[in-house]
């Protein structure tokens, strides 16, 4: 096997063959993350397709984290669509009022994201789960519906930017400071359709809160 980036290794594992940047590949999905603001669109596309069941119900987590408690009738209807779908399909990982939180904090706390996983969600900050060594990305609601139906999805294997963090961060320097400085340097479009992989001895000095902050905000670079 040729030398690969972490992203290429994860995609290779999930595609069943060695892949490299620039290839169009179809990969298995470990976890689909839905929420009550974008998933109703996915649900409509799912039902309009004629699909009767999820390809892998245990690989779909639906979190009520935007419109609960509902602020108006429209948001209440969004929640209603999500709940009805969860009940109809007897979702194991459905997080409602009594067991909910921000989706990108809740799933890691529940142990539903693991290193090497492929995670998708119809939310731009799905990339947060990269803090745990997963390939994690946001996509459109109809793309999410495709994965709900098939259990996999199409990707163009992204090129990777390697960021090497060296030394021990000075006092009061946190993950948020690091990612903001990176975005300042490469620009808000500096990583368009690219993966960013962080390495270097500074990583050992960063707690998980800092790593989550960095991974959460990489989307702001493209």
Q: What is the mean pLDDT of the chain?
A: 96
At 68 the pLDDT is 82
Res 100 pLDDT > 90: no
Instruction: Identify whether residues 174 and 109 lie together within a single domain.
Output: no
Q: Using one digit for the tens of pLDDT, what is the confidence trace for 20-34?
A: 999 999 999 999 999
Q: Using one digit for the tens of pLDDT, what is the confidence trace for 101-149?
A: 899 999 999 999 999 999 999 999 999 999 999 999 999 999 999 999 9
Domain extent at residue 179: 160-222
Instruction: Identify whether residues 5 and 104 lie together within a single domain.
Output: yes
At 86 the pLDDT is 97
Instruction: Identify whether residues 187 and 151 lie together within a single domain.
Output: no
Instruction: Identify whether residues 39 and 100 lie together within a single domain.
Output: yes
**Residue 88 and residue 117 in contact, taking contact as beta carbons nearer than 8 Å:** no
Out of 121, 142, 157, pick the residue that ends a domain. Answer: 157
**CATH number for 196:** 3.40.1060.10
Q: Using one digit for the tens of pLDDT, what is the confidence trace for 180-189?
A: 999 999 999 9
Instruction: Identify whether residues 123 and 107 lie together within a single domain.
Output: yes
At 215 the pLDDT is 98
Alpha-carbon dihedral 21, 127, 10, 134, rounded to 10 degrees = 160
Mean pLDDT across 86-93: 97
Which of the four pLDDT bands, split at 50, 70 and 90, describes residue 1? low
Provide the whole-model pTM.
0.94
């Amino acid at each position: 096997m040729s030398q690969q980036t972490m992203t290429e290794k994860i995609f290779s594992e999930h595609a069943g063959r060695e892949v490299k940047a620039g290839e169009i590949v179809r990969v298995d999905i470990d976890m689909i993350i839905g929420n009550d603001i974008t998933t109703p669109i996915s649900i409509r596309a799912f039902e309009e397709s004629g699909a009767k069941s999820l390809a892998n119900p245990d690989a779909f987590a639906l979190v009520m984290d935007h419109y609960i408690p509902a602020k108006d009738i429209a948001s209440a209807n969004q929640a209603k669509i999500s709940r009805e779908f969860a009940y109809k399909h007897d979702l194991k990982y459905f997080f409602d009022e009594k067991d909910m939180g921000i989706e990108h904090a809740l799933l890691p706390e529940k142990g539903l994201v693991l290193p090497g996983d492929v995670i998708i969600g119809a939310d731009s900050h799905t990339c947060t789960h990269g803090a745990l060594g997963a390939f994690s990305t946001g996509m459109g609601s109809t793309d999410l519906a495709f994965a709900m139906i098939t259990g996999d999805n199409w990707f163009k294997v992204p090129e990777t930017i390697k960021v090497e963090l060296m030394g021990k961060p000075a006092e009061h320097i946190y993950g948020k400071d690091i990612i903001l400085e990176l975005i300042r340097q490469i620009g808000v479009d500096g990583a368009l359709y690219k993966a960013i992989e962080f390495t270097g001895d500074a990583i050992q000095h960063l707690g998980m809160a800092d790593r989550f902050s960095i991974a959460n905000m990489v989307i702001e670079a493209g």
